[in-house]
Each structure stands twice: as structure tokens, then as C-alpha cells.
Structure 1
Amino acid sequence: MRIGIFFGGQSREREISFAGGRTVFDNLNKSLFEAVPIFIDSLGNFILLNWEYLYKGTIRDFYPPAQFSPESAHYFQIYIESLQASEEELDAIMRSVGTPLQPKDFATHFDFAFLALHGPYGEDGNIQGLLEWYQIPYSGSGVLPSAIGISKTIQKDLMVAAGFKSPSKTTISRNNWLNTSIKETIYQEIKQQIGLPMVIKSPHQGSSIGVSVLKEDNFSLFEDAINRSLFIKSIDLTHWKSLSDSQKRSALITLTDIREGIGLPAFHEKTLIHTPDALWHYLDQAASAGEKHIQLTSRDSEEQVLIESFIKGKEFSCIVIQQADDSPMALPPTEIIKGSQLFDYRSKYLPGMSRKITPIQVDDASIDAIRHECERLFSALHCQVYARIDGFITDKGDIFLNDPNTTSGMLPSSFFFHQAAEIGLTPSQFLTYIIRTSLVERIKSGKNNTLLRQQLEKLDSQIGQMHLANKEKNRVAVIMGGFSSERHISVESGRNIFEKLSSSSKYAPIPIFLTGNEAKHELYVLPVNIMLKDNADDIKEKVHAQLNGQHKHPKLQEIIQQAQPLTEKYTGGSRTDFQAIDYAQLAQMCDACFIALHGRPGEDGAVQAELEKHAIPYNGSGIASSQLTINKFDTNELLRQNGLLVADHFLVWEDQWRANSQNLIANVEAQFRYPFIVKPADDGCSSAVKKIKTREEFVAFTELMFRPLEGELSAKEVAILQLKANEEFPKKNFFVVETLIEKGNAQHFMEITGGLLTRYAADGSLVYEVFEPSEALATGEVLSLEEKFLAGEGQNITPARFSRNEAQRANISAQVRAELEKAARVLNVEGYARIDAFVKIYESGKVETYIIEVNSLPGMTPATCIFHQTAINGYKPYDFIDAILDFGMKRLHKTAHV
């Protein structure tokens, strides 16, 4: 069956929809379905997307394409609505990334529409109605529940009428708010009615966009929150004038972000401003003219703000699915433990930023009550197939449900897959369930029934045949986790590898969690529900519970039993049980191993040594190369000796610091001028990489790095370094100081990251395929964890924009890639790797490439830019992973015959 995956769209959640569409594309079972990517741009155009663009980091990385975008003096990216393209230009833009489609042509390209859209135009019944008009079956709820589900205000009214508990609420219209002179009086009246704290929401947004919690009795904060929900921003031009260019750039990136800011185009009075560069110029002109403030309003603003009383209690989210008899079944509700008051965008989508505990930590009767209320709401709103329902339970046991979503986020770490795993379904199997159940639901509409029944019968037959074929696949152990500060990203990488392999017709992956310490690696086979816990610490907690004889929660057992008829259909009765193993047992279980670990252990050769003892083929570099590249200092020393450009560097040791900190500071300041870079010598993923501008910051960094215990970080040093909530900061006994590499007198300067893949030539020699590098644009001083690995974050442009002239760009790229290959050969890198570097391009044509670091097991999360690079060379993510495994197996065979 050809599955048209609809993603992107016109809402502020388009980036999460884009990432969710990619997840669905990758996880659809290849034995049953052909995935057809249907990208909807933010003007509402449908495009049959060329598959390689699906692996870009964000929509703006490929659409509009660089050749159609206006040149930006400050390296801003824009969405298509900022371009002001003519009809002819827009058609050319669409054709440069795929094939424009009209709805009347849908049926010639796909048989079923899987909707991974969010917000307006995606969850509001519009696309559902369009698909019904053209007789295309689609996933999820129909027109009516979708239209109800998009409006928080209408939902609340219907819920109250149906007897659901609801917080006190009121609304403010946009017109009343903007046209009144008594805003403070309105605040006092609302405070009297609602009380503090209060929650201020945009009624038609999801992903916590436009949501604020007001805790203080402060009118100014209330005004800011209302404006945030209306997507209005007041700019202090005196402050703007005082900012440096880099500060202005960072401010505008935040301001024009469609999730955290107001987005563009935006109005100032009657002037419509389309691009960040135009806005920069406009603000400069207004400030020079002596204006003190201007107010910007998004062109796509809300017409109303919803204000509710704050509910104090445990927050949860619950997926409800439709059973074969049409009755709703709530999956085990998940408790959300946040690092801040608000479960915001970053907390929702970046692993390790919040905790998801399933089932919620309340008594059994309360779990039953939550599930019952969620099922009741599912029926009351006439939802179909599945829904995600969020809520709170108070200490008194009162249950407040809010914001039912007829489409759930579909990132690998989302509740959608997390809770399905608790009943034993992998992401691939759960997507099959959604498609099949949606077909059944569309048949009930009485439209096009005969064809839909034929599709259903064929799908059921294929599901049965697929279970028989599973026994013939190659077994691959996917090792994830570890005990470094990179453990959460490792889990995300491992799950992504597992999911790509599990939806293939060639491999049967086995999830393996590694923990322990450098002296003793502990290995555990994971059931899918534990593998899909939110982060490495949650998985480790569940592992220890299993080891201590703590049985599965009785309510989970009950729900699993209830879901058994459903799960057996999609799993064929197969399951993976928890098991503690050693490397010898691992060798008996698998044909190959994919190491998805980052930092230590994994990139240091320790795991590789154990695997080689037991003749298990693995991915990536061998023992000696891994031991070298894990150490940034030793790596750069060797590269410098071989003529490659690297930063000047210096090792700071804890014993030196303890013996005479003032002397060490003097030595550092004698060799390096501020600002300079500090970072751990043997960690990656931007963990604790900081740009140090003052002695105070250097002392704070050093004290944190050499702190006595692993425990909580000192508030003083955290404030000085401006660490984010829950930011990982490893404890080490040494770290590296490096010269800050800057533009200098180069004409062009950028940070790039380049991936590579190796294979054997016919004569047995090693061939390096170095991919087109990506240009990485940091919003802050260094690339953050989110910018590297979180879908929708960061600006990674592939290929890097070395020049606007294509011939010059290709020539510069060839020179840069030659330097990356030289570095890889010097370090004896094998399999695959990612090399980060700075590139300086001079007016004379000279190109300088400064190697920053080499990652022998690069991050393999869905959003990482190595997949953008491999796509240019024709590798889908699965193809790339398959090539990596193939090299590892050939290497073992080659070594065995030497």
C-alpha cells in the first residue's frame, strides 16, 4: 500500500510535524508499505518531496532553496512566506525540491494519507475534509472531532457540558486588549476571577507555543504573557541600539522564531516586514530617528487569549486508542516531571530535559480513574483511532483534562510511541495499527467502501505473511546508553538505529543497554517498553528495578492483558524479554553489533576490544584509532605533526589547579588571550564546551569541572556560565584550553561538520567517501546540544555555502574534503566518522581548514546532519546504516583471513 505521509504545513508546529513525518517515513514497515513523502509548505502547497530533503535538519535548510533566497548579510534563514515570490518563481521553487501536486492528483501517487500535521490546517478538519472530497482514506479522527480538537475554548465548553472538571477560565479578545486604555484594570479583574498562579494560552496552538504561567502578582509580566499568546512583541529601541551585531543577530533569531517568538512576516502599524535582515534595518532606522519603542505583531496572530487558573498536581499525558469493537482503551498514563514550571518545547522534545514516568505515580484506583476519564473524553469528543489527552490529578484525586489532541507528536521520544511500547508494540508495529484501524474507521463512513475493504483484506493477509518472514533476518545488537554525559544522546541514536533496522526486511535488531563503569561494563537486553523510556537515566532505573526483583507494575500487567488481542495481531506473538548478559552471551545472540555509544565507553576502544575478543563484527573505527580520537589533545597534536591546521591548545590538570590555582591562571593567560575555548578532552556532543571571556568565567568553569562530587552544580558557577536547566556538565580531572579560531582577515569564515564512509576497493585498500560538509550556524557562542540533535533546532545548511558561484563552491568543497580525508587517514579512521572544522576562505582564493575534533561514532539521531550529507550521495538513512554494518562484517572477514 502506498502511504502518503503529510507533514510540514502552515502552523507554528511545522518543524515538529516535519520531524514527525520523517519518523513515520523511516518506521513504516517496508514489507507492507511504500512511503511517499508529501510536504506541505507554509503557503499550503502540496509537494511530492524528493526523499533526500526529508533528512534536512529543519524546513528552512532546504525550502526555499539557497539559490532562491535573498542574500543575508547576517546568515539568516527564512520560510517561504518571507520570500514574496511570484507564481512563476514559486512553481520553480517547488519543482527544485520535488513535484507540485494538486489534490485531484493525490490518488495517482498514494492510496492512504498518514497525517503527521499539527495545529491549524492539520488538526482542525480542513485536510480531513479535503481528503474525503477526493476519496483518499486517512489516519486518525475525522472532520468533526478534528474541528472540535483544535479549539481549546470550544473544547472547554463541551467538556464542562459533559461533566468534566475544569479550572476557572476566561478569555480576552485581541481587539479588546489592543484597543483598551485600562489594561491594568483588566488584569485586576482577571486576577480576582482566576487567581494566581494563572495559565495564559494561545487557543489554537500546540507544543506549548504561546503558553505562559504567571506566578507573581505583576502586571508587567501579565502584559508580556498576553502579548506572547497574541504573538505581539514590544521592542525597546534604546536597548536595541546598545547591542553588538552578534547580540542583535541572536535577538532576532529568537524574535522571528515561529515557536518562541512571533515569526515573520510581522506588522509595525501598517508596514509589513518580511525578513530578519529587513527587520534589522527597520529597527536601526527607527532607533536612529529617535523612536523609543515599536510594537511588532505577527501576520498570523491569535484573535483570542484563554486564561485558566493554575492546577497544582501531577501532570500526565495519556494516549487513547480504539479497539476492534470500537471501544476506547487508554494506554498507561505517563507522569511528566519537568525541570521548570512549564512543559515547554525544549522539555518536550530534547531527551533528558524532562522525565516521563509510566504509569503515573499514584495509587491504582487513581490510575483507573485517569484512564476512565480519558476514555470518556475520547468518546465525548467523538474521537477516532487514537488521541493524546493531557491532564492533572490533584492531591485530592480530582482529575482535570485539558487540550485533547487528535494528532500526537511523532518524534521517537514522544508519548505516542512511548506508551505503545508499554503494551509491547514497536514504533513500526504501532504505525501499522494506526493505518489498519484508520482504514476500518473510514469504511464506516459509507464512502468508497468496496475499494477500502479490498485494501483492508490485502493488508491483513500481508501482516500474517510478514510474521513468518521475520525468522530469516540478520540479528544485530544495538548497544546504547553508557555512563558519560552523552548517554542521553546515545540512547536517542541507538533507538533511531533500532527503528531503522526493525522496519527493514534484512535485519532483526536487539536493543542492548550498557551501563556500569570503566572497570566493568554491564549489558542488558531491553524489552521495547524499557528501550523507549525518555532517557538513559530512566532506562537505568528500570534496569535496576528488574534486577532487584521488582515486577512490572500491576496496572501495566492489567493493561497489557487487556491489549493482548491487539498486540498479538501486530507482533505475531514475538517479544523481547529483559536479560542481563555478558559479551560472551552477546556473541551467541547476534551476527553483528552496532555501537551507538558516544564518548566513553564506545569511542575509546573499550567496547571494541571486548567485541574483538569474541569475534563480533562492529561499526566504526578499530581499537587503536578509537583510543586516539577520544582524546582531543592527542588527536590535534598528531594532526599538527602531519601538517594539518588545528587550534593552539593547553591541558589543565586538577592537581595543578589544587596545588597553585593562581599560577595556573597566569600560565593560561600568558598563552591565550580572552576569549578562548574550554572543553573536556574526552567528551563530545558539545558537552561543557564554553567560550570563556573573563577570568571569572574561567575560574567558574574550572571549579565545576574539578568539583569534588558528581552531585548538583554550584549555583554561583552555574549563574556565571549561564548554564541551561538540566544542562549536563561532566566532572573530569583535566580539560583543554584552545585558541578561539576567528575570521581574522578572511573573506568568509564558517564552522562545518563533514561525514565520511569507508569501503574496501578490489585490491583490499581503504577507500574514503567524504560527504559534502554541512555549514553549522550557532545561535549562541558555541553549537549547543539542541542545535546538533533536536529536530527543528539549529541551522545546518547542506552543502555548506562556501561560495554563491557553484564552480567556486565545488572547488572549495573539494579542498575542504581533501583535508578531512587527510585527517581521517592520519588517524586511521575506519567505517564512518564525523569531523568538525572551521574553514577560512580568503579573497586570494586560499582556503584554510582547521580541524576541531573527530567523532569515531558520530551521533545518529534522526535530526543529525550526517543524514543530510549522505542523502546527497544517494543514501537513505537505512542504506547508510546498512553500508556501515556491511563494512564491519567485511573487515572481520578480511582480518580473519590475513
Structure 2
Amino acid sequence: MRVGIFFGGQSREREISFAGGRTVYDNLNKSLFEPVLFFIDSLGQIIELNWQYVYKGTIRDFYPPVSLLPPSPHHFQVYIESLAAEDHNLALSAASHVGRKVSPEELPTLIDFAFLALHGPFGEDGNIQGLLEWYNIPYSGSGILPSAIGVNKVVQKDLLEKNDFPTPAYELLNRDSWLKEANKKAVFDSLKSKLKLPLVIKAPNQGSTIGVSIIDKDSVEDFVDGMNRAFFIEEIDLSWWAALPDEEKRKELIKLTDIREGIGLPVMMEGEWISHPEKLWVKLDQLASARKDTIQLTSQHAEETVLVEAFIKGREFSCIVIENDNGAPMALPPTEIRKIKDLFDYRSKYLPGISRKITPIELPDGDIQRIRKQCERLFTALHCQVYARIDGFYTEDGGIFLNDPNTTSGMLPSSFFFHQAAEIGLNPSQFLTYIIRTSLAARIKTGKMIHQMKGLLKKLDTEIQLLAVSEVKKINVGVIMGGFSSERHISVESGRNIFEKLASSTKYHPVPIFLTGNEENHELYLLPVNIMLKDNADDIREKLHAAASKNEHPVIGQIKSEAGTITSTYAPGTILKYKRINYEDLSGLVDAVFIALHGRPGEDGAVQVELEKLGIPYNGSGVDSSRITINKYETNELLMKHGISVANHTLVYKEEYLAHPAKTIAELEKSFTYPLIAKPADDGCSSAVKKIRNQQELCAFAEMMFRDTPEFLPAQQKVLKLKDNEEFPQKSYFLLEDLIDSNGATHFLEITGGMLTSINDNGDRVYELFEPSETLATGDVLSLEEKFLAGEGQNITPARFGKTPEENKRVSEKVRKDLEKVAEILNIEGYARIDAFVRIYEDGKVETIIIEINSLPGMTPATCIFHQSAINGYKPYEFIDAILTYGMLRQKLIA
């Protein structure tokens, strides 16, 4: 069956849709389905996308193409609508650079079924569903009516009340009235009187986390900010703008033009449409030089009405409801959302480690069942089909408030959609098969093209049955994820991605393994799929430790029983019990291991030592090479001896600093000038890397790094601007480096370069250096999220080394040659990622300054190494296969 995956789209949630489409593409069972990628751009064009681009980190990394973008001295990335505002025809031509533009009438000749991974307006509001029905193409999820209801929070309110669902009191505010109202305090006072504080402000036609604010203080300023946020209005104090340094102006414009947390572009400002951040910067500077008042910016896509609700104090949950094999609604185990702050916003929902997901919600069994029944009842009341995600609150007095039903759920690997399906034993691939099969059955009920639909359904059922009884001998690969470093959450993302890629192959059978413990004692656990898909490493560890003393939750057991025919059909033989193992046990379970750990252990050679004792093949570099590259100081020293450019550097030790802090700082200031870079010397690539501007920040960094307890030191946290959930390890020493700058070069950029090794017919190691990526940080340094998580980083692959193809090729070859020399010096094997700065001087000289080496680079779906390997023709699975093949061949040669 040819399955068209529709993703991207025109809404403010297009980045999550893009990442979700990639998840669907990777997890569709290739024995049953042939995936076809349809990227919907923000102009509404349907583009049959070349597969290489689905592995980009963000939409803006590839679209619009770099070649079509206007110059941007401050390195802003924009969406295609910014280009269209200047030259509509040029914007329309962008499609041909990344694939082929498809007209709707072509779709029936290209696909048999449409899988919808679109969010918000134009995606889950009935628009695309109506288009597909017009062309008789069956699609996933709910039909036109429930989709239209599901995206409109105002209509939902009416239906909830009419179907006797409790709902908080609310008021609607009109845009024109809000803009004309001079006395905003009077509006606030009126709402406080009617609804009481806190107030919840919502943009009624957006996704569940867009344009939402909670006003919990008696503050008119906060209220006005929240209302403007929901109307997608931004007010800028020109005096404040004028006082900002350029670095801060750039950060502010990046936030302002972010479609998720800002208002996006184009914006209307004083009767003029502005489509690019550079033009907005210039315009604001001009106005700020002449005036000192406040100006207002309005988004092109904005709300006409805003919903203000009374705040519900309670425990927040989310529940996926699916149709069972008889077509009746069945709620999966509801998940409690535990947040650092009241608002479950975009970052909390989609970035690991920021919020916690507890499944099932920790309530008495009877109350969990009440939540399930209410969710099933709402599913029916809204005429939903196939599946829906229903959010709600459980209050202290036992009340259940349901709100914001979504007919399309987020589809990242750890989203509620997959997270709850795993509790009944379905991995992502199996759950997607079930959704497609159930969607076909739902479309038959419409009475349109029923013979065609029934034929597709019969064929799919036959193939599912054949798949269940077929047996193919596969290579068992243990995928080790987790760890106890500050990058443990990213490691879980990497491990899950490796698992998914191998699970959909015909060659490998992945076995998920979770590692926790400490340096002296590695605890290994064989992971069932339901635990593997918990939100982050800490959730997995806690679940495993708790499972040792608990039996299966009775509600989970009941839901498994209710779903028995589903799991027996789609996931025969699934194991849902964890098991504690050791390295010797591992040798009897697997033929090879893929280490998806970052930092310590993993990149330090500790796991490799244990695997080598047992002769288990593994990915990546050997023990000695790993022990060097994990230590940034030793790596720098070794590279310097071989004539490789690195930053001036030194180590700062806890004992010396605590004994004589002033003296230590004074000595450092003799050798280094601010700003400089401070980071752990022996941890992952982005943990606690900070740009240090002055003595106060250097002291704060040292005191945070050398603290005795895991809790942050409040004063130092404030100085370093650390988020509450940010990873900042405790160490006995750290690395201090000069800040690398352009040093007079005409072109200066930060890059990251991946590589792959193979063994030729003579038994020699051969390096394949990929085209490096140009990395753009939104802050001082690249964060973990920017490097590894979908929708966060700004990367351009290949890097823009020169203005002409010839110059690009010349510089790229020189840089890759430098990176290869580094790999040879450090005896890197398998694959790696090397981060560096590149200076290109007017006379053509190219200088590569090495930052650090990652012997087990991140393998999350959005990471740069997949963009780079794609240029060389490797799909992610093929790249992973090459890495494993090298590891297994190396072990044979050693043996």
C-alpha cells in the first residue's frame, strides 16, 4: 500500500509536524507499506519531498533553499512566507529545489492512503480531510466534522456544555474591541470579578500550546502581555530597543519571529508589512533614533477572538482514545503531566526532561477508570474516529474537567500517542499499522468508494496475518541507552531512534538495553517497549527501580485485556516485563551492540572494556581512542603536539580554587582575557558549556562546578542565567579556553563534520569525510536542544564556505582533510563528529581550529550527522547499518 505522509503545513506547529512526519516515515512497516513524503509548505503547496530533506533538523534548514535567500548579516533563518512577501514567484519556485510540486488531482495516481501528521489550522481542522475526500483518498484519523470541532476551542466549549461535561467559566474577547479599549485595567478587573484569578488566556484556533498564558498575579501588565500573545500582537518599547547591544537585539528578534513562542513573520508595523528580521531590525533602529514611544507589531496570521477561562486547579492529564477492533472507543491509560511551571507549553510538551509523564496517573483505580470513561464519552460526543488525544484536569474534590480534544496527536517517539500505546504492547511501527487499518474501516463507513476501500482493507488484513506467522533470522543488536551523564536524556532519544530504524529493517532485531548506576557499577536492564518510551532517562530509571517492588498496575492489566485482540494481531510475542541483566547475560542475548550513550560512560571506553572482554562487537572507536577523546584537555594537548590548531586552554582544579579563589582567578586572568569559554573537561559536548564575560561569571561557574550537592546555588544560578531544569554537573576540575573569534579572517564560521570508516580489501581503514554542517547558535553557544532536538537547531548542510561553488569545494576539501588528520591522530574508528571553527582569510588561507571530538555522536532524528550522510547517499538506516557492519568486521579481524 502506497502511504502518503502529509506533514509540515501552514500552522505554527509545523516544526513538530515535520518531526512527526519523519517519525511516521521511519516507523512505517516497510513489509506492508511504501511511504511517500508530501511536505506541505506554509504557502499551501504540496511537495513530493526528496527523502534526504526529511532528516533535516528544522524546516528552515532546507526550505527555502539557501540559494534563494537574501543576504542576512546576522544569520537569520526564515520561512518561505518571508520570501513570498518579497517575490512570490521566486518563493513558488523553491519547491523544485527540494522535490516536485504536486497538484491535488495527481494524488490518486501517487498514493492509496494518506497519513496525516499535520497540526492546527489547515491540518486538523477539516481542510485537508475535505480535499482528500474530494479525490476519494482514504486518510488517517477523524473525518471533516470532528476535525473542524477539534481545532476550535470556542465550539468545543458549546458542545461540552450541551453534553453535560463540566467546563470552567469563560469569556470571549473580540480583537477590535481589545485594540480600541483604552482602559485595559477595566477589562482585567471585569474578568477577575467574573472568573477570579488565575486566568487562562487561549488562542482558540491554534494548537493546544500556542498563544496560551496563565495570569496568576494581580498584574495588568501580565494580563495585557497574555492577551497580546493570544492575539499575536507584540509591543516594543523603542527606548528599550535602542539601549540593547546588537547581540541582544539578535536574540530578541529570533524570539519575536519564532512561530511557536513569538508572533512570526511577516508582521504589520505602522501600516507596513515587514517580512525579514534584517528589515525589521533596520526599521526599529530608525524609529528608535527618532522616537521613544511604544510601537505595535501584528502577525499576518492572528486571532479575531480570544478565550479567557477560569483556572482549574488540579492534576493535568492527557489520554489517547482509540477505536477498538469493534469500532467502540477505548481509552488508553491516562498520563499525568508534572510540570516545572503551571503552563504545559510548547517546550514542556516536546523537549525531554522539562516535564514528567506518569502513566497511569497516580490516582485510585476507580478514579482512573472514571477519567477513561469520560474521555470515551467525549470521543463519542465529538463524533471522533480512529483516535484522539483528550486533555483534562483532575481536581482535589474528585472533579474531572476535559478540555482541548485533539484529533491529531504529536508523533515524536515519546509523544502520548506512542507512549500510551506502548503500555498495551504496541511499538510505534505496530501502532501505526493499527491506525492505518482502523482508518480504512472508518472511511468505509462514509459510503464513498466502498468497494475500493474494502479491497484495500482486505489486502492489508491478509498481509498483516502473513507477517505475523513469517519468521526471518535476524541479527540481534543490543541498543544501550541512558547512562548517568548530563546527556542521559539525549542518549535515550538517540537509542530510541536507533531502535526504530533497526526495528523496521529486514536484517536486524533490536534489543533495547538501559544503563544506569554509577562509574563503579553499571546497572543494565532489558527494556520492554512501554518503559523504553517513557519521557526521559530519569523516568525510565525510576520506573525500573519501582517495578522491582511492584506488580503490574491493575488498570494497565485491564486495558491490556481489553486490547487483547489488537496486541495479538499486531504485536504477537511482545514482552512487557523488564529484566535486570549483566554484561555476561548480554553476550547470550545479542550478536552485536550499538552504544547510544553520550558522555560518561560510553564515550570514555568504560562500556567498550566490558564488551571486549566478552568478544561482543560494538560501534564506534576502541577503548584507548575513547579514553583520549572524552578528555578535552588531553585531546587538545595531543593535537597541539601534532600541529593541529586548538584554543589556548588550561584546567582549573577544585582543590586549588577552594583553597585560594582570588589567587586562582588572578593567575587565570594573566593568561586569559574575557570573554572566554568554560566547560567540563571530561563530559559530553554541550553540557554546562558557558561563555564567560567577566570575573563574576567565572567565579560563579567555578562555584557551581565545585558545589558539594546536586542542588543549584541560587546566586550563582542567577549570574549564569541557568534554567531550573538545565543540566550542570559537579566536577573536581573544568576546562578554560580562549574564545575563538575571526582573528581578522574575511569569513568565519562554526562547523561540525561527521565521518564514517570502512575496511578495504587490503584490511586497511578508510575514512569517508562528510560535507560539514554550518551551525548557528541562538545564544552564546550551541545548546543540547539545538544540537539534537527536532525544531530547535539552526544548521545549514553543506556549510557555506565560499560565495562560489569552486571556492566552496576548495575550502571544504581543506577542512575535511584537516578533520581526517585529526581522526587519524586520535585513532577514531566507526564514525565520529568533530566540531571546529573555520577561518578563511582574504589571501585564501584556510585555518581549522578544533573544538572537540565526539566518538559516539548524538543519533537523534534531527542531528547533523544524518543530514551529512544523506548527501553521500546514506539513508539513516543505511548509515547505521554501515556503522554496525564495521564494528562486526573489526571484531572478526581481531578474533
Same fold at TM > 0.5: yes
What residue is the counterpart of 1:702 in the other structure? Answer: 702
Taking the aligned partners of 1:837 and 1:874, their CA distance within structure 2 comes to 24
Is 2:532 the partner of 1:534? no
Q: How does 1:172-321 map to 2 (within 5 A)?
A: 172-321=173-322
Q: Secondary structure at the match of 1:604?
A: coil
Q: Within 1, Cα distance between the matches of 2:845 and 2:342?
A: 51
Equivalent in the alignment of 1:895 = 894
What is the CA–CA distance in structure 2 between the aligned matches of 1:291 and 1:99, rounded to whole Å?
49
Contact 1:52 1:876 in 2 (8 A): yes
160-169 or 462-471: which moved more?
462-471
Matching of residue 591 in structure 1 with residue 591 in structure 2: yes
**2: CA distance between counterparts of 1:180 and 1:678?**
50
Residues 140-159 of structure 1: matches in 2 within 5 Å? Answer: 140-159=141-160
Instruction: Please state if 1:691 is matched with 2:681.
Output: no
Matched residues in 2 for 1:619 and 1:130: separation? 46
- 1:472 aligned counterpart, secondary structure: coil
Secondary structure of 1:297's aligned partner: strand
| Cα distance in structure 1, aligned partners of 2:504 and 2:312 | 41
User: Paired residue for 1:401?
Assistant: 402
Structure 2 contact 685–854 (Cα < 8 Å) conserved: no
Q: How does 1:823-842 map to 2 (within 5 A)?
A: 823-842=822-841
Structure 1: which 4+ aligned runs deviate by more than 6 Å?
A: none
Q: Which residue of the partner structure matches residue 61 of structure 2? A: 61
1:500-528 CA distance string (max 9 Å, x none): 11111111111101111111211110110
Deviations 1:701-725 (A, max 9, x none): 1111111123x11111111110013
Supply the distance in 1 between the matched residues of 2:645 and 2:365 (Cα, whole angstroms). 62
2:64 and 2:788 map into 1 onto residues whose CA distance is 22
Q: What's the CA shift for 1:229?
A: 0.6
Aligned residue for 1:36, secondary structure, equals strand
How far the C-alpha of 1:179 sits from its partner, in A, is 1.6
Q: By how many angstroms is 1:86 displaced?
A: 4.8
Secondary structure of 2:563 counterpart: helix
For 1:667, the equivalent position in structure 2 comes to: 667
Aligned-pair distance for 1:471? 4.5
**Deviation string, structure 1 residues 143-162 (Cα, Å, up to 9, x no partner):** 00000001001101100110
Superposed CA RMSD in Å reads: 1.1
Determine the C-alpha separation between the residues in 2 that align with 1:415 and 1:373: 18
Q: How far apart in 1 are the matches of 2:44 and 2:392?
A: 32
Following superposition, the deviation at residue 546 of structure 1 comes to 2.3
CA distance in 2, matches of 1:470, 1:522: 32
Q: Which digits, 9 at most, give the CA deviation of each residue in 1:613-634, with x for residues without a partner?
A: 1111100000110011000000
Question: CA deviation digits over 1:688-742, x for unaligned, max 9?
Answer: 00111111111111111111123x1111111111001300110111110000001
Is this contact kept in 2: 1:349–1:790, CA < 8 A? no
TM-score by length of 2: 0.99
Q: State the alpha-carbon separation in 2 of the partners of residues 270 and 514 from structure 1.
A: 58
**Corresponding residue for residue 876 of structure 1:** 875
What letter matches 2:677 in structure 1? I
With normalisation by structure 1, the TM-score equals 0.98
Number of equivalenced pairs: 894
Amino acid at match of 2:746: Q
Q: Kindly provide the amino acid, as one letter, of the partner of residue 428 in structure 1.
A: S
| Worse-superposed segment, 516-525 or 403-412 | 516-525
* Matched position secondary structure for 2:470: helix
C-alpha deviation, 1:367, in angstroms: 0.2
Name the structure 2 match of 1:74: 74
Distance 1:576 1:2 in 2: 32
3-state SS of the aligned residue for 1:75?
Answer: coil
* Matched-pair contact (CA < 8 Å) for 1:685–1:788: no
Residue identity matched to 1:454: G
Q: Which amino acid aligns with 1:602?
A: G
What per-residue deviation string (whole Å, max 9, x for no partner) do you get for residues 305-338 of structure 1?
A: 1100111110000000001111100000000000
Give, in whole Å, the separation in 2 of the partners of 1:117 and 1:153.
21
Which residue in 1 is equivalent to 2:469? 468
Show the counterpart of 1:581.
581
Query: In structure 2, what is the Cα distance between the partners aligned to 1:139 and 1:779?
Result: 36
- In the alignment, the residues of structure 1 paired with residue 808 and residue 540 of structure 2 have an alpha-carbon distance, to the nearest angstrom, of 45
Equivalent residue number for residue 795 of structure 2: 796
Q: 1:602 to 1:470 in 2, by over 3 A?
A: farther
Q: Distance in 2 between matches of 1:468 and 1:706?
A: 58
Q: Distance in 2 between matches of 1:409 and 1:636?
A: 42
> Deviations along 1:760-817, whole A, 9 cap, x unmatched?
1111111111111111111111111111122111211111111231111111111111
Greater mean deviation of Cα atoms: 445-454 or 143-152: 445-454
- Does the 8 Å CA contact 2:600/2:684 hold for their aligned counterparts? no
Aligned position for 2:767: 768
**Partners of 2:243 and 2:805 in 1: CA distance:** 38
**Which residues of 2 match residues 186-585 of structure 1 at below 5 A?**
186-547=187-548, 549-575=549-575, 577-585=577-585
Q: Which amino acid aligns with 1:828?
A: N
State the 1:291 CA deviation. 4.6
Supply the distance in 1 between the matched residues of 2:92 and 2:219 (Cα, whole angstroms).
50
Amino acid at match of 1:108: T
Deviations 1:527-557 (A, max 9, x none): 100111111111111111222x311111111
Compute the displacement of 1:467 (Å). Answer: 2.4
Q: Which residue of 2 aligns with 1:629?
A: 629
Question: What does residue 813 of structure 2 align with?
Answer: 814
SS of corresponding position for 1:29: coil
Cα distance in 2 between the residues matched to 1:838 and 1:188: 55
CA distance in 1, matches of 2:54, 2:348: 24
Identity %: 62
Cα displacement (A) at 1:59: 0.6
Distance 1:520 1:612 in 2: 17
For residues 545 and 493 of structure 2, what CA distance do their matches in structure 1 show?
A: 20
- Rounded to whole Å, the distance in 2 between the matches of 1:576 and 1:624 is 38
Say whether the 8 Å CA contact 2:232–2:263 is kept in structure 1.
yes
Residues 428/179 of structure 1: CA separation in 2 closer, same or farther (3 Å cut)? same
Matches of 1:93 and 1:232 in 2, distance apart?
Answer: 29
Superposed, 1:163-178 pairs within 5 Å as 163-178=164-179
Query: Which deviations, in whole Å up to 9, do the C-alpha atoms of 1:360-380 show, x marking residues without a partner?
Result: 011111101100110000000
Kindly provide the amino acid, as one letter, of the partner of residue 155 in structure 1. Answer: Q
Counterpart in the other structure of 1:109: 110
Deviation at 1:88? 4.5
User: Which consecutive unaligned segments of at least 5 residues does structure 1 have?
Assistant: none
Structure 1 CA distance for aligned equivalents of residues 240 and 787 of structure 2: 31
CA 1:804/1:207 → structure 2, altered by over 3 Å: closer, same or farther?
farther
CA distance in 1 between partners of 2:538 and 2:292 (Å): 52
Residues 470 and 357 of structure 1: CA distance in aligned 2, closer, same or farther (over 3 Å): farther
**Residue identity matched to 1:386:** Y
